[in-house]
Structure 1
C-alpha cells in the first residue's frame, strides 16, 4: 500500500485533530502518501481531496474540532453515492481509508470495505457509545467541560438556594451524564440505560431539603428526555425553585485534554499499522489501556453498555 486517505465524519469531537496528525505523520514516516478528504463522505464524493505533508498537520494537536471539517451525507448512504465515492478513490489511487467518527461513520467504512476498499475506523465521538473500546476520542474533554460548567452552576445554585436540572449530551448513551454526575456529586443522575422513578428523585430532593440542604443538582442525559420539561415537573411536585441549563454544543468544542490527545495519537497510529498489515474493515480501540482492533460489522451489532457499578456508587454517595 502506497497511498491512504483520511476523513472525519459525523459530529466533531475534541482530539480529532490529534488523530489526523498521527495518521498523516506516521503514514509519511512509513513512506506512504496521505490524502486528506474534506467534509467527510460528502467531500469524498465531491473530490475534495488534498495530499497532506508534514506541515499540513503542524500546530493542530491542541485544537478542538477537525481541520478536515465534517458533514453528514444522505447521498452517500445510497448505492449510487458509494459508487461515486469509489470512483474518486480510484481517481487518486487511494488504496486504504481511515475514517474517524461514530457508528454512522463506521457503517460507511464497512460498506466501502465490502466494495473492495480497505477501511479502518477510529472512534471519535463525545458520546462514548462505541462498543469495543473503553473510551472514544473526545469523551474526556466533553466530560471536563461539563464538570467545569456544573461547578460554576453549583455556585449560583447555592447562592439562590435552587434546584438545578442540567441536560447534557450523549445521544442514546448515558456515559457523559453518569461520569459528570459522579464527578460533580449530583443528587440524581438520569440515564437512558436505567429507568428511574420520578417519585424516587422527588423523595431524594425532599430528604436533602429536610436536613437543611440549600441546593440540589440533577444531571439529565438527553436520551432520557427534555430538561426544561423535567424541571417544570420537579417544581410542580416540590414547589422548590428550579432552574434548567441545557449545555448543548459547548460540550463538543474546546481544546482537547491531554488524555484525549494521547488517546487520539495512539488510535491514529494503530490505524495506519492495520492498513500496512493489509487489514480491512476493522475498528481500533483501547481496552484496559491496551490497543485492540475489532471487526466493524461485529462491533455495530453489539449494544452499548454503561458501567452500572458507577451508577450504583453514585446512588450510594448521594443519600
Structure 2
C-alpha cells in the first residue's frame, strides 16, 4: 500500500520555506545597504584627505573683502569758493560754493528752480563755456587739477567728465553710430574695437538686449526711456570717470524712470555720478549724498539719510517737507 502525504503538514512546510526566503532576502538587502554605506564613507574620507586645509588669520577675514566706507573714499571733485555770474558779472548764480564729492558715489543736487544746481553741474565739465558773458571765480578741481586753470584741454576734460542732459538727444543716425560717434571722433578706427565698445556700452546702459538685433535702425525710433539710456551709453563709450546727469528722468514715465534709477545704482560701481533732480523721492532712492541749494547758495550738504531725516538747517527741512519750492 502506497503511503499518502498529510496535506496539513505539506502546507506548513511551504509556509516555513516562504518565511525563510523572506528573511534571507532582507538579510541580503541589509548587507548590500551596509556595504554601500561603508563604500560611500570611505570615498568621503579619501576626498577629505585630498583637500589642503589652510589656516586663515583672523585679520584676513575682513581686510581682503572689506569695502572702503563712504567717508574714507577719495575726493574726485572739489569745489572751492566758487562764484558764478551771468551777463558779464551783473547776475550772480552761485555764491561761495564749497563741497567735495567722493569717488564711486551718487550725489544729488536738489533745490527749487533757479537755485543754481544745474549751473554748478554744467560747470564741472565747463559746459558753461558755451554761454556768452559768464564770469567764474574760485576753483573746481577734478582729480586734483583745477579745470579753470589756463591751458586746460577742455575736449579732454569732457571725455573724462561725461554729460547726460534733461531731454534725450540721440543723433538722427543709427543706434550703433550714436554709440560709436565719440570713439570715432577720438580717432579710433579699428572695427573690432568699435564693435566691442558699442556692445560694452549698451550692456552697461542696460539696453543691449533691447537693441542688439536692430543696431542699424534709427535711434529716433526708440522709446523715450530707451533714448535716454542710449545717451547714457553714448557717454559711457568715451570711458569717462565722472557722469553728470541733469534731470535725466524728468521727461520719462514711471517705468522708464525706474529703469534709469536702477541703472544709476549699477553704474556707481564704475563711475562717480552727480545728478540734478527735482524729485525728493528720487534723491532718497539713488543718492549717497545730497546737496540742497537755495538762491545760489549751498545751504546744506551731507549724507542723504541725514538730510532727509535730520537736517541741520531749517530751510532744508522746510524744502524737503514741501513748505516751499
Same fold (TM over 0.5): no
The bucket for the TM-score relative to the shorter chain is: under 0.3
Specify the structure having the higher radius of gyration (Cα): 2
Report the TM-score when normalising by structure 1.
0.23
Report the TM-score when normalising by structure 2.
0.23
